Structure 1
Amino acid sequence: MSALARSEPFYIAGHRGLAGSAIWRHLANNGFDNLIGRRSSELDLRDRNSVFKFFESEQPKYVVLAAAKVGGIKANNDFPVDFLSENLQIQTNVMDAAVSVGVEKFLFLGSSCIYPKFAPQPIKEDSLLTGHLEPTNDAYAIAKIAGILQVQAVRRQYGLPWISAMPTNLYGPNDNFSPNGSHVLPALIRRYLEAVDSHSSSVTNWGSGSPRREFMHVDDLASACLFLMENYDDSQHVNVGTGTDVTIREIAENIAAVVGYTGTTEWDTSQPDGTPQKLLDISKIKKLGWTPTHDLQSGLSSTVDWYCQHRNEARL
C-alpha cells in the first residue's frame, strides 16, 4: 500500500453532508488540492446518464461515496421505499460510472445498521447476514448491504482495490437537525435547545431511553477514510467506531447539561426503541493502526457550539 497522490482528481460524493464535508476538510488539510464536489442541485446522483457524463468529464482517480438518503428512525420507518430505491440508485449509478472510467481507489461508506438486530455485542464484521435486521430501518440497511456486495463484485470482476467502511452513529458539524429527518443526537440537541429558548419545564423523548448507542465525531470518520484508502486492501468491509457506548438516556442527560437545560425529561414508551444495543467491534481497524481521537464530552460541546452559531443555515 502507498500514499494517495495529493494532486490527482478526488471526487467526494455528498461533499456537503455530515460525512462528506468532514472528509473534504480532512483531505484538504492533508494536502489534496484537486478535490471535486457537486451539490445535488448540480448533479442528481439518481440520474444515471448525468452521473456517467460527470465521470467521463472529470475522470476522478479516487472516489469516496458518502452521498446517501439518510434519516432517523421515524423517517426510515415511514418511507422505506424512498430509502431503499434512492440509495440503490445512487450507489449503482456512482459505482457503475466509476468502473466505466477505471477509478483506481474507491471507498463506499455504509452504516452500522447493516447488522442483525440481535447481533452479538460488540459487533464484528463477520456478523453481516447472520440474522434478521431491525424492522424500522431494514430498507436502508438492505441498500447499504447491496453496496458492500457491489464493491466485492467489482473487486472480483475487475480486480480494482475498492473497499467499504461501516461507521457507527456519527455527529458533528453539518449534521441534519430537522424534526423528522435527523438522527437521535442532533434531534436531542435541537430539542433541548428549543426547550431552553421557550423556558419549557419538560422535554419528551421517544422510547424508554434504555437502548445503548455508540457515537463517533465525524472528524474521526474522515481520518479513518483516508487511513483505510492508504492502508487497507481487502474485500471485507471495516467497522469504524469508538468501541464504547452509552444509553440514550445518558446521552440525553449529557446534552441537557451542555445546553443548560434544567427541566425534567419524560420518555414516551409508546414509541419504538429500535435495536437494543449497537456497539461495533473496532479491533480490525485498530490492528491496522488507526484509533479515534475525539472524546464524547468535548465532541458534544463543540457540536452544540457549531449548531448555535449556524442555526439559521443548518439543515432543518
Structure 2
Amino acid sequence: MLPTANPTPPFVITRASHVVLAVTDLARSRDFYRDVVGLVVTEETGDTVYLRGLEESAHHSLVLERADAAAALRIGLRVRTDADIAAAERWCADRGLVHERVHRAHQGPTLRFRDAVGTHLELTSSMDLVPRKMQCFDEFTSGAPQRLDHFQVVSHDVQTATGFWSELGMRLAEFTAKDGTDELWGSWMEVKGNTHDLVFTNGRGPRLHHFAYTVPDASSLLHAADVAGALGFGEEIDRGPGRHGISNALFLYLRDPDQHRVELFTTHYQFIDLEDEPIRWDLSNARRAQLWGMPASRRWFFEASEFPGEPVREPLLQASPQTLEDYLGVH
C-alpha cells in the first residue's frame, strides 16, 4: 500500500528552505550562481558565500562553502517554531537517528540529522531577514530565480524514504510505480501546497540529484539558457528546456563548476485540498519524464552529488532508463 501522510506529525515542517554545498573554487561557484543562474549574493566571508532568490526575505537559500572536494553537505527544511526543533530533537533521539544541535550563522535553532535512507538534512525554525528584491526588476539577470522550491534525492530505497517522510506529515502528490503494482520507483512529496518539496527517485544513493528554483515565466528559462551559452556554460545545460509530465513543470537543468545540479522551472500546480489524490505514473509511461522535449542524458540519470562520509548503496530496484544517447544511437 502507498504510505499516507500523518495528519498529526511530531513536528511541523513548512517548506524546503536551503541547501549547503561544498565547492572547490568559491569565487567561480559564486560567479556561476550569480551570473549564470541569476541568484542574489546576500553575504560573503572568507570561506562562505550566501545567496538567495529575488523574492526571498530569508538571508539565504543556497550556501557555498570552500572545501578540497565537492559534496552536497546538507539540504535544509524549515519548521514552524523553536518548539518544533525541540520536538524534532526528541523524536530523533527516540528513534536512534544520528542528530545534533548546531550553531549556523544567520539561522535560528538548527538541528542536523540523517533520515532513514542516509540523506543529510538540517531543520531550522528561523533566519535573519533581508529585503526582498522581487520588484527590483533592474536587477533581474539570467533566469531571475524567485525562490527555492524543492530537492530531489536519489535513494536506494524509495519505499522506506517515502514512509519515513509520510510519518512526518509530507503528502504524496505524484508517484511512479511499476505497472500494475504500488512498488514505488519515485515519490513527489509536499508540505506547502504545490507538487513537491522533497522528491525521492530510485538509484544509487543517497545522493542529491538537484535543488530547484522557480522562475517568473517560460521566457526566463530560455534567457537563462542563452546566458549560460554566452558565458561559456552552454555544455553545462544538463537537460531541457522541456516540460515534465510529473508536476507539469517547464524546466531547465544546469551543472555548476563542481557538477552540482540546479533546476530552474515554472508552472507547477496546487496540491492543497486533503481529498486530492496523488497522481500515479506507470513506469512504462515515458510521458512522466517529459511531456515534450528530448530524453535526459546518461549523466542526468546516473550522476549526482554525494553526501560526505555517507556510503552510497546500490538500488533495491534495477532499471535501464532510455537516455538521450540511446535515442540518438550514440554509445
When normalised by structure 1's length, the TM-score is: 0.27
More helix by share: 1
When normalised by structure 2's length, the TM-score is: 0.26
More strand by share: 2
